Amino acid sequence: MIIAPSLLAANFGQLAKDTARASKSGADWLHLDIMDGHFVPNISFGPAVVKALRPATKLFFDVHLMCSRPDILLEPFAQAGADQIIVHLELGEQVTPLLWKIRKLGKKVGLSLNPPTSIGLVQPFLDQLDHLLVMTVNPGFGGQEFIYETLPKIQQANAWRRERNLAYTIGVDGGVNLKTAAECARAGADVFVSGTTLFAAHSLKRAVSKMRKVVLASDPALADLRV
Sequence-separated (6 or more) residues with CB below 8 Å from residue 18 = 7, 10, 11, 199
Q: How far is the CB of 44 from ligand DX5 (least distance, A)?
A: 9
Say if CB 34 and CB 65 are below 8 A apart: yes
Q: Which position among 18, 62, 173, 190 bears the catalytic label? A: 173
Active site residue 33: yes
Is 18 catalytic? The answer is no
Tell me the number of residues near Zn ion by CB under 5 A: 3
Query: What SS3 class is residue 97?
Result: helix
Can you give the length of the chain in residues?
227
> Which among 18, 33, 62, 190 is annotated as catalytic?
33
143 makes contact, choosing from ligand DX5, Zn ion, none, with CB < 5 to 8 Å by partner type, with ligand DX5
Contacts of 4 (CB under 8 A, 6+ apart): 27, 28, 29, 30, 31, 62, 171, 191, 192, 193, 194
- At 34, the amino acid letter reads I
Residue 77 · residue 69 · CB < 8 Å: no
Quick one: which segment of 15-23, 95-103, 142-150, 173-181 binds Zn ion (CB under 5 A)?
173-181
- Which residues in 31-70 contact Zn ion (CB under 5 A)? 33, 64
What track of x and - describes contact with ligand DX5 for positions 24 through 43 (by CB under 6 A)? -------x-x----------
Interacting residue with ligand DX5 among 23, 94, 155, 196 (CB under 6 A): 196
Which residue, 106 or 114, is less far from ligand DX5 as judged by CB?
114
DSSP string, 36-53: BSSSSS-B---HHHHHHH
Catalytic residues: 33, 173
Interacting residues with Zn ion (CB under 5 A): 33, 64, 173
